[in-house]
Every structure is written in C-alpha cells, then in structure tokens.
A and B are shown apart, each in its own frame.
Chain A
Amino acid sequence: MARIDQVEALFHEARSLPNGEDRLVWLEARCQGDAELMEEVASLLQANASLRNAAAVPPAASIAVPTAKFGAYRAVELLGRGGMSTVYRAERADGQFEQTVALKIMAAHLGGPEFLRRFEIERQLLATLSHNNITRLLDGGVSSAGDPYLITEYVEGQSLDRYSDSRKLDVDARLSLFLQVLEAVDYAHRNLIVHRDLKPGNILVNTEGTVKLLDFGTASLIARPSDITLTRVRMLTPRYASPEQLKGERLNIATDIYSLGVVLYELLCGGWPFGDPNSVLSELNRATGDVVPTPPATVLTEEAASSRSASYQNLRGLLNGDLSTILLKMLENEPTRRYGSVRQVADDIERYRDGRPILARPQTAWYATRKFVARHWLAVSTACAAVLALTGLTIFSLHEAAQAREQAARAQRVSDFAKNTFLSASSTWTSPLRGQSRAIQFNDILDNAAERVPRELANDPAAEADLLGTLGSTYAILGNPVKGEALIRQALEVLRRAGAGSSRKAADLDAGLCNACSFQGHYTEALAACREAMALARVYGSDLSVGTIINNTAFMAAKSGAPLEEAEKLFREAAANGPTQPEQAKLWPAINNTRIGALRLRQGDLTEGERLLGESERILRAEPGPPIEILPTLDALALGARIRGNYIEAMRRLQEALDLLSQRPTAYMGSGGQLEIELAADEALAGRPQALSRLKKVSAQVRADSTAPTDQVRFHLLSGIVEANGGSHDSAERHLRAALETSEKELPRQPADRVEIYLRLAKLLAVSHREQESYDVARQGLRCAESSYGKFFAQHPFVAQLRSIMHAH
C-alpha cells in the first residue's frame, strides 16, 4: 500500500471513531511504532478539526448600501441580489412625502452598449404594463454614480412558495394563487412580452393575498425575433428554465408556460420534476430532451402533504388525475406540444376546479410515441419510404417488389406501434386523434422527423435531401401531398445549393415530386417532374429503374391530357427498360400491359386491349395474394366490360378491386372513391337501385381528391350516368355537359374519351323526348368516334349505339 493510501485509510478510520475515544491512543496502537506515519495522520486530524471551524465561518461581506442618489430616491436596505442586479428598499430622498419603493440597480459593467440597450427595453416594457398583478414601474434612469436603475412599486410580501407553505395552503388555495399568476403572465403575453425568468422568487404574494409579479429583467419582445440572447453570462435560473432556453434557442411564450409548469409542479407537490434540483449536469439532459418529468404524485412526501393541509393518500390521489395531465402538458419538451397559451392553462385549471373535464390529454401515449420516434426516427423514415414504394406501385408500376414488401412490413409494424399506443391510451381518455384517419396519426410521427431533419443533418446535404425527400413522399402518400410537395422541393433546393442539382439523387427526388404533384391532381407539374427525372436518370441512373420513371411519365402524360398514342409509346418504352432483378422483372410486363391495354380500350381497340389485360391478369393471378398491382388491371377490365355492355362483369371486377383495397388500406390512396363511383355507374347501367346512394356517399370525396381535368371529366361522366338512370335528368344533363365542356376545353388532344360522353348525353336527351338535340349529339359523337377510333370504328359497341339512336329518330 502506498504511503498516502495508508495515511488516508487511517485518517478516515480515526474520524469514524466514536466520540470520546482517544484518537491518539488508538492511532499509536495502529501505527505500530511508525512514528512518522502517526505524526502525519495526527497532523491531518488536527487540521481537519480546525478546517471544520474555518468552514463554519459564514462567507461574510454584507455590502454597504450605496450612497448615490437615484433620482428622487435613496437606498435604505439591501433586499436581494440577482445575476444582473441588486435590489434595495428605498425611500424618497427629498422628504416630500413618505413612500417606500423598490430600487433595482443594474450591474452596468456586465454589459456595455448591448446591456444598456436591454435595460432601456426593460424600462419601456415595464412602462407599458399596467396590471394589478404586475409590479408597477415608477421611475428609472442613471444614478449619480453612473449605474442604471429602476424604481418600482415596493411589495411587502413573501415568495409564492413560502407564502403557501407558511400558511399550509391546500391545493385549491394554491391553484387560486396560481391563477392570479397566470392572469399576469397572460396579460404580459398579450402585450408581446415574455418574462423568461419565471420562478417563485419572482412571484410575490402580499399581505392581502394578491400576487405581484416582479422582474421582467430578462423579458424580450416576442415581436422581435432578432433579439436572441445567447447567455454569455447566464441570466436565467436553470431550475425553472425550459429545454429550449437551456439550449440557447429562440424563445417565445411556450418558454414561460414551461417555467410556470415547474413552478406549479413544485407548488402542488413540493418536489422538482427532474430529480435533484441541485444537479447542474441534469441540465444538459433536459436541454437535449432526454428527460421526462416524474409524475407529480410519485415525488410527494408526507411532509409536503402536511404542509398542504392534506393527507398523503388524498393529495396523492389528487395529483394522479387531471392535475398531473395539466402539469405534464405544460412541461412538454417540445414547445409546440405545450398549451398554446397561458389562457388555455388557466381555462383547464378552472375546468378542473369546477369538476368539468379538462381539455389536455394525458401525455403518456405521446411520450411513448415520441420517444420511440426519437430513437428510431431513421427507421421510421425508411419505413415511410417503403409505404411510398408500395403506393407508388399501385398507381404507376411495380419496382423493387420484394424489397418494397419487406419494408412495407416494417412500415406496418411502425404504424401498428403508433396505432396501438393511441388505441391503448384511448381506453382511458379521448384521443385527440379519434375519429381521424390513421394517416394523420402517422403524420404526427412524421412531423417529428421532418422537424429534426434540417436541424440534425444541416451539414450533410445529401443525407438531408434524402430524408426530406423521403418524408415528403411519405406525407404525400399519407394524405398531405401539399406538405409533401413542399418538402421534396426543399430537398431539391438543398441539393441545388450543394451543387448537386444534376445527380442521381435529384432524379429520385423528381420522381417523388411527380407523385406528390399527381396526388393533388396537378398532372402537368407532375409530368414536368417526371420528364426531369427521366432525363437525369438516363445520365446518372436512379434508385428507380429508368423504366419505372418512364412508366410514371407515361401515366402522367395520359393524365395531363397528352395524346393517348404518345402515352402508349412511352409505356412500351418503359416495358423495355424495366427492373433487372428477377423478382421485380417478373411482374413488369403485366404492369405495363395493363396500362397499354387500358389505353387501347380508350382508343377503341377492344380486341388488343382485352388481350393485353387478359395477359396481365394471368401473370398477376399466378402470384400469391394476388399482388396489389392487380388493382389497375381490374379497373381497366371493368372499363372493357362496360364498353361491351357487360355491366354485371364490370361490377364484379370493381367489387374485387374494392375488397382488395379494403384489405390493404394504406395502398392506392385516394383511388377508392374513383373505383366506387365507377361501380355506381355500372350498377346504374345494370338497373341496380343502390347506385344513387353509392354515388352520394363518395361524390364529395372524389371531387375533393382531385380538381384535375381528367379526373373531373371522369367524375361528371359517371355521375351523369348514375343520375340519368336514377331519373334525375336535369342533374344528369348538367354533369354530362360539364364533362363534355371540360374535356373539349382542357383535354382537346384526348378526343376518344368524349365518345362515351356524347353517347350518354344523346341517350339522356332521347328519353327526355328532346329528339332533335339527341340526334345532333349522337351525330357529333359518331364524328368524334370516327376520327379517334380509326379502323376500330366499325366494330365499336358505342358506335352501334350511337347509330341506333340516330336511326330511331
């Protein structure tokens, strides 16, 4: 054993001896004749005794009251010191009349011009505040000694916590005081002033029980975002500071709400929500959001209960319910998760006191979810990408099928996690999301990720663009394509700024942008993005195969009104450039043949169209499931059946598609309504009575899904069919004429689609006994069919029907 260790061991041992025992005798025995050792330990023990006396001396220094003149006032007695100022009780020096005031002398040397500016702001701020619960500013200026000072109303009182404890106030009385605090802070906020240093020491209660808020010393103007103060010399009180404050971030009213949360927490249960309040290291954990407040009931002690005139059990019970919910909502790490205003906090507390249900929801589920996302946000984003892949497929094409399915399974797990969290929670409370779609719940998770990306990946544009793009695509699919589009455009901008505007990554982003635009029905923009993606992918390659992008481009071309032949040519090109991986390549012909088949049908070529669709169906049905990619095939087959007049078969096809969709609800978003309205049309044509109610059920949704001309034309045509067969001739005519007009005006290069509109309108006019008009429309229809069906004109069922209408005349 080293000498020093020996000495130390004996030192500690000797100190732990019971009083009365002679340490020197004990020591001598232990040192076994080692006089030097004994001498060393003895001298340390002696030093230790005098050290204890030295330490017992209080760190002295009462500071003399300054003798300078502060306007009409002079300092009388030191009241307290803060990081930035010293406060005195003061009196009028001119003896004109007796008035006791508080004098706050600012520590001028802390600052220089910046400080003086802040001081000036404080003066102006305080001067604008006039509220019964806020100390009034009486005067201010620079003293004869050169120190800036403020004179405020003098409050004879105790700090909020001492006042409450010394009177053993119960919870209700404490809440009542706290509501006064809230009123004052709310008033300040409405005047665009954030306190930023709310703590019990700044909240006094006077002898009449009126709360007086002190010290807007660190207040800032909410309206001035430029006024961010990084703490060179810390001015805040970490114990009551919000995470964003600890991080030195921009502050707003949410910061005060957090600090008020800590104040209320202590006021109600007597403990601090984050463990040991003296631990400055825990500050860091709080700043990084790693710390979750302890539920108030669990920090309650017998002593704290008794100083609240309550039994431990009772108070514990009280603190377990709504109060805990209110507190934890105030103490959310993320400012946006807190109450939106101090008024809302006050309202909830009043609701609680009145025994009405509060509006805040227990946060446990949120914590769990957010913690989960925080830990796994990358995985969540990746999983979201998988959702994208899956839906992208159903609308356009299949790519990377195997991988997509595996990722989709992961997405499902993540989504299930979120769902379960909410569902389990909603058994005891009303979920704020109840009644809304699952997609929106998922969006909350995305919001968290979207917020983190720019912050955490700012130095890595590639990664930032990647994740912004992924999130954007995911938003787009989960029902918020507007936000999705914005995020993807942001991602592209990040790439451009980093000089990577022409790259493989940009190609992928453009492909994602294409989706986001198309979900809003902005097919022209979608097409532009697709073409950009295609051009880039040809040069730089892409995560998607070139064929996939061409496939998307072709789809968009058709949707945005390009000639159908042109779209068809692109689909054929896509077919030849498909993915190479066997698993993916297998379904590729089916996917493209479905599209080409549908286009052949629309151009009047029923034979080739049905052949291609039959082939696609055969390939897809050979797969287990069948795969979700069969949806567009079924849709196109139904179209073929309708043209041929086989409405029952069309209904069967569409019903199968809808059943499939209901089993896999995240995929094929927004298209369920389209399928259903088509089903309604076929039902109407088949004379089924349910057609009208089905149309009513989905029509608003379908109209909202897209305002794109192609979709509107389709909507009006199908609605017209249903209304006509339901007997509402006027309404049917309005729909059909709207379809015709939109098609002629917006989609002049896709005349083939107008043939059916002419046909349905001619039929409607015929049954309305408007023979001449019917004849004219039928003739127009024939002319249109002749020019757009070409060699398939003669055999086309629509043509036969149009002719029979004209002959009947």
Chain B
Amino acid sequence: MPPDVPVEREITRLLHRWKEGDREALASLASLAYEDLHAIAIGYLRREVAGHTLQATGLVNELYLRLAQVRGVQLTNRRHFYTFAAQLMRMILIDHARQTRALKRPGSGVRVPLHEEMAWIDASSDEMLALDVALDQLEALEERKVRVIELRFFLGCTNEETAQLLDVSRATIDRDLEFAKTWLYRRLSAPPPSAG
C-alpha cells in the first residue's frame, strides 16, 4: 500500500515539536503509533505471531524508521522513543483486557502468557488489570523497575537491550527484573489488604 502522506506529514510536525520539548506532541504521536502497535498486540493475543512471545519491537523499529527517514528529524533520543513505545504497548494491552471484560466475552479458554517469564499472567484477562494496578504501585516505589518490565515484557526487548536503553549495566537489569517479578508475583498471587 502506498505510504500515507498526510500521516507522514503529521508525524513530521509532531516530531519537530517533540524535539523542541513539547510533551503533548509525544502524546499525539502516540495516537499515530497506536494503530500499528494495536495490530501487533491483537495479533499476539490471538497467538498469531510466531514464537508466541510478544515482540512489538520490530514494529516499533518500523515506526521509528518511518520517522527517521523524514528530513530534518534526527531522533537523537532513541531511548526515549522505545520507552514511550513500551508504555504505549502496556496501555494497549490493558485497554484490550478492559474491553474484553466490559463486553463479557467468553474467554477462548486458552491462556496467553504475557511473556514466557511471566507465564502466570494471562494477557487477555483480568490478571492484566491487576498487573496494571500493581505496576502503578511499584512505580511509586521505584520507577525504573516499571520501565524495565515494560521494555522487557510489553515490548519484547532482551535483557541486554533493556540495559542498553536504560543506560545501566546488564547485571543491574537482571537484578531489577528478578526483584520486580518477585514483587509483582507476590502482590498478584496474594494481594495484601493495603497497598505499600
């Protein structure tokens, strides 16, 4: 299909504004990226994507390239871009879970693990909504851990890549992941009466 010219132009404009520090522009960018990311998220939930693991990164790359090919836009902050995409992906999956619940659709009976390392979370059910809440709580305690989880499990980055994107050592990421997963697991398997 031919490139979507108006959208390209819009992306360019938003990127310029984003470059100049306009956070709103980033939010608008999100809406443009949403469609693409949504497609891969849904495909994943239907288990149509080879490998059975969520890997939105490829699509994000594609989006990124489309932006980078536009003249004058140098996405110097690639890190920012991926982090943003990972958050967006989380949003999409949560939205989807919420909609499924609202429509009271009968589940397919097939569990879709969020990630092989997070096999105890069914990405297409209420468990996702609980995870979302837990992530917000964890974020209040330590923001980076949530970014790590998002990049690793919502976008499909490897540990190495996550380390690279967050500019910390691989060992730190390994430890962050171990701790965050444990923390989330405990919260979700036996939610305490009060948050903290």
Which A residues lie at the B interface, using CB under 8 A? 4, 8, 11-12, 15, 43-44, 47-48, 50-51, 54-55, 57-61, 63, 81-84, 107, 109-110, 228-234, 237-238, 246-248, 276, 278-281, 283-284, 287-288, 455-460
Contacts and interface: CB of A to CB of B under 8 A. Distances in A.
Interface in B18-47: 36, 39-40, 43, 46-47
A281 B164 contact: yes
A4 B175 contact: no
A457 B71 contact: yes
Interface string B93-130: 00000000000000000110100111110000000000
Interface in B137-172: 141-142, 156-158, 160-161, 164-165
Nearest to A114: B1
Given A234-B49, A280-B61, 4 more contacts: A11-B182, A43-B186, A57-B119, A278-B158
B160 A276 contact: yes
A57 B40 CA distance: 25
B62 A231 contact: yes
A48 B120 CA distance: 13
Contact of B52 (A59, A110, A246, A248): A59
B181 A279 contact: no
Contacts, number: 131
A468 B34 CA distance: 37
B61 A287 contact: yes
B178 interface: yes
B191 interface: no
Nearest to B108: A61
18 contacts: A8-B175, A8-B179, A44-B183, A51-B182, A59-B113, A83-B48, A110-B48, A230-B1, A234-B40, A238-B58, A280-B58, A280-B157, A280-B158, A283-B57, A283-B61, A287-B61, A288-B68, A457-B71
B185 A50 contact: yes
Nearest to A280: B57
B57 A233 contact: no
Given A61-B110, A283-B61, A458 B71 contact: yes
**Closest 8 A/B residue pairs (Cβ):** A47-B186, A280-B57, A459-B71, A48-B182, A51-B185, A54-B120, A284-B61, A59-B113
Given A228-B1, A280-B61, A281-B164, A47 B50 contact: no
Contacts of B48: 83-84, 107, 110, 233
Nearest to B183: A44
A296 B107 CA distance: 49
Contacts of A238: 58
Contacts of A12: 175, 178-179
A237 B51 CA distance: 11
B194 interface: no
B157 A459 contact: no
Nearest to A46: B186
A47 to B, nearest CB: 4
A337 to B, nearest CB: 20
A232 B157 contact: no
A459 B70 contact: yes
Interface in B182-196: 182-183, 185-186, 189
B71 A281 contact: no
- Interface secondary structure of B, over-half rule: helix
B113 A47 contact: no
Given A47-B185, A230-B1, A246-B61, A81 B50 contact: yes
Contacts of B133: none
Contact of A83 (B49, B65, B157): B49
Nearest to B190: A47
A459 B36 CA distance: 25
A118 to B, nearest CB: 12
Contacts of B40: 233-234
Contacts of B50: 81-83, 237
Nearest to B73: A459
Interface residues of B, number: 56
B116 A233 contact: no
Given A4-B142, A8-B179, A276-B158, A54 B185 contact: yes
A241 to B, nearest CB: 9
A51 B181 contact: yes
A456 B71 contact: yes
B163 to A, nearest CB: 11
B59 interface: yes
B177 to A, nearest CB: 11
A253 to B, nearest CB: 22
B160 to A, nearest CB: 7
B182 A54 contact: no
Contacts of B84: none
B39 A233 contact: yes
Contacts of A288: 65, 68
A458 B9 CA distance: 12
Nearest to B140: A4
A60 B183 contact: no
Nearest to B120: A54
Given A228-B1, A279-B158, A280-B57, A55 B117 contact: yes
Contacts of B61: 246, 280-281, 283-284, 287
B6 interface: no
Contacts of B189: 47, 50
Nearest to A241: B58
Contact of B58 (A230, A247, A283): A283
Nearest to B119: A59
B182 A44 contact: yes
A281 B68 contact: no
Given A47-B189, A50-B185, A458-B71, A281 B119 contact: no
B186 A247 contact: no
A4 B141 contact: yes
Contacts of B118: 55
Contact of A233 (B43, B71, B82, B120): B43
B182 A229 contact: no
Nearest to A458: B71
Contacts of B47: 61
Given A12-B175, A248-B62, A60 B55 contact: no
Given A81-B50, A279-B160, A280-B57, A44 B65 contact: no
Given A50-B189, A280-B157, A234 B59 contact: yes
Contacts of B58: 234, 238, 280, 283
Contact of A11 (B3, B39, B111, B179): B179
Nearest to A12: B175
Contacts of B2: 228
Contacts of A43: 186
B82 to A, nearest CB: 8
Contacts of B119: 54-55, 57-59
A237 B1 CA distance: 20
A50 B113 CA distance: 17
Contacts of B52: 59
Among B66, B142, B185: residue with most chain A CB under 10 A: B185
Contact of A59 (B65, B116, B141): B116
A391 to B, nearest CB: 31
Given A83-B49, A280-B57, A44 B120 contact: no
